[in-house]
Amino acid sequence: MKNFIQKIAKFFEPSKNLVLISLAFWVTHILLRVMLLFRSNPYGFPFVSKPDWFIFHAVCIDFMWICNALVVFMVLGGIAAKIASSRCAASAIQKVAKVTTIAYTVFHSVILLFTLLDNEVQRFLGGHLSFGLVDTYKDTSSIAMFYDYVANDLSIPYLQFVVLVLMLPLTYGLYKLLSKHYRTPDGFRMKKSVIAMVIFYIASYLFVYFIWTGNARMAKLRPVVSLVYNDLFVAKSAAGLSEQELASYRTAYQNLWQRVEGDNLWKFSDDKEGHGLPLYRVPSAELQNSEKLAAQREMKPNFILVLMESHRGLNTGYMNPQIQPSPTPFLDSIAANSHVWMRMHTSGVPTTGGVLSTHLGIPHHSRLSQATDLAHVTLPSFVSVLTNNGYSTHYMSAADPAWDNLGVWMAKWYTAEHYSREREDDSTFMEHAAQYVRDTLSKAGKPFLATLMTRSNHYPFNFAAGMTDEQKARPLQERINVTMNYADRQLAHFIRSIQNEEWYKNTYVIIMADHGFPLGENGVSTMNGGGFSNISWIPFIIHGKGLEPVHDTTTAAQIDIAPTILELAGFAVPNIFMGHNLLRDTETTLNADSTIVKKELAGLSLGAYSGYSALGLDKYRVVSKTNSNDEVYLFDDGDMRQEHDLAKTEAERTAKMHATLDTLIKISDYSLEHGL
């Protein structure tokens, strides 16, 4: 063992300075992480509501990438020293070591400066520093704007400049202290430290990637080196659209959208306000002046939008009568008296995908972590329209919206956000939401939108308060029924707490899920395993004035919700929604016996699901691995369990729909990346 340690010490002796430099910069990075996570954003709100859930991961992540960089420079320095020793004198080897040390120090100094900038970009804009963001804010006026932001930072004004001036001298001071500490003749302390570093690296890797995982947290904590690599190699490898391709896709998309819409009340426009986006469309004067919309505006209806965490259509009673007893008896009772869409699909996963798709009317990005990577892009939602037209808009979440960066998006659109660590169970969350809506929003003298995002039915389906050990020990396929039933009871409590209020008569209650969850159906049991109905098929109900009870079999998706809500509010404004108003009027014809027959409403459902995408159109649904021909499935739109793949027997239809799906996903990705 002693000989082994001596060999390690001899190997690391020429690189001792690199090890000490690494440790000094690591400590400085820890201090930067603390100032980011435990400090409020510039607007006075916590950057994250649970910094203790982030800081240990941040320490481990920074340690791992710094060690990776250390190994790379040691290998390169070793190769250079080997070459020098075979050709030059011993002094040349010392020069190589000196150059390696200087290069390593410069590398870390540059990374440290950009880390500080990335931290401030996250605090101000909600997303990481990227080439796309630099391109967006490349004009000189942005520099002056940044100075104004720093001066008005509600946390500690000008702290950024103090840190900028002090962090490199601090790192140098740490390096000198470490050098003094490790100045021993036998190098024993260095030996122990290197062994400890190896052990801590292994422990960090296990902790971050196996023990306490979380994609949203990892996205928020990505180090600058990872961001640069992603921008240079991963993002750039994705093919962009040439002008010819964009023109071709634009025409195909707009023709398809108009065919599904079925009227001429909207027109696609090349106005500069549309920023050249293929999605940009404007309402006709006929639509803007319609009596129907005027009547809705006169009503000034309130909206309550409830997003139920992971509620699968397969486990919702009124959607799947085979499941007995129903886990969702209250939702079933509302469905019996509401307009219900029986073939509603999510347009993105996980929660960020479903929530953002619902607000934006565009499917989640097929490659990027949209909530983080595109936070700087200007993308208006239906909430923006309501807020700009006098509505009081409030986003209430049982889960921390800062966890997955949704809080940044909600802050753009809503009047206010509501979250507390004390209200993470659906019981306390719904109780508080009912009280706030009843006692505050309804008495503010303005129409309101209250959006509620629940939590208790989240994977691994053991969050529901009061679950017994026996219930928690059940298989996932059974356990989800327990947590869905618990969430259903809290929804019942919420609705019953407000349904007898006078203002409730002028309120549309919209209940839906953010997404489903795969539990082994179609051979898939992970969120990244496909775009089948186990993950996409969700409940969607609208209950309110003027809506008759209907079980609607029009294929639909979350991208349809934004235009549908604005229809109910009476607003027709220029927008970039890919979806359709699900309550739009349809043409009528006369039968031979003079009875009026409504033309069946056409529908289109579109979604992107972590490497997969799906399209529902013309009574069929195609599911495919995005930008690939490896996996393509075709199902009848009524085959909600998707048990009968028709891809081989309907090869021509499959190929056509797959091509259409590819076009739509490319158009949506392009629009999300460019914004308005």
Tokens 């190896």 appear where?
Answer: 198
CA 423/CA 443 separation, integer angstroms: 23
CA 160/CA 158 separation, integer angstroms: 5
- Provide the token pair at 465: 């308060």
Burial of 92 (0-12, 13-18, 19+ CB in 10 A): middle
| Per-residue model confidence as pLDDT tens digits over 85-130 | 766 656 666 788 888 899 999 999 999 999 999 998 888 777 788 7
CA 183/CA 637 separation, integer angstroms: 73
User: Given a cut of 60, is residue 185 above it in pLDDT?
Assistant: no
Taking the alpha carbons of 659, 664, 669, 675 in that order, is the dihedral positive or negative? positive
- Provide the token pair at 508: 């549309």
* Peptide linkage before 329 cis (omega within 30 of 0): no
Strands 302-308 and 507-513: parallel
Give the per-residue pLDDT at 6: 59
Closest CA to 570 of 392, 447, 410, 409: 447
Give the up-direction half-sphere exposure of residue 107: CA atoms within 13 A in the CB hemisphere.
16
Number of CB atoms found within 10 A of residue 431's CB? 16
Q: How confident is the model at residue 596 (pLDDT cuts 50, 70, 90)?
A: very low
**Alpha-carbon distance values, 445 to 332, 415, 440, 503 (Å):** 33, 15, 10, 11
Give the per-residue pLDDT at 187: 55
- Give the pLDDT mean for 352-362: 97
User: Given a cut of 60, is residue 615 above it in pLDDT?
Assistant: yes
Give the per-residue pLDDT at 90: 61
- Provide the token pair at 325: 């007893």
Q: What is the DSSP letter of 600?
A: P
CA 50/CA 46 separation, integer angstroms: 9
CA 15/CA 1 separation, integer angstroms: 22
Which contiguous run of DSSP H or E holds residue 9?
helix 2-12
Side chain identity at residue 231, one-letter code: D
Which contiguous run of DSSP H or E holds residue 243?
helix 243-261
Paired strand residues for 612: 609, 625
Closest CA to 426 of 359, 483, 475: 483
Q: What is the DSSP letter of 210?
A: I
More confident call, 188 vs 294? 294
More confident call, 209 vs 183? 209
The winner for highest mean pLDDT among 4-13, 194-203, 327-336 is 327-336
Q: What is the DSSP letter of 292?
A: H
Helix (H, G, I), strand (E, B) or coil at 40: strand
337: CB partners within 8 A, 6+ apart:
543, 549
CA 625/CA 645 separation, integer angstroms: 15
| Per-residue model confidence as pLDDT tens digits over 490-526 | 999 999 999 999 999 999 999 999 999 998 888 887 7
Give the per-residue pLDDT at 137: 54
- Give the pLDDT mean for 216-238: 77
CA 621/CA 150 separation, integer angstroms: 50
Give the per-residue pLDDT at 347: 97
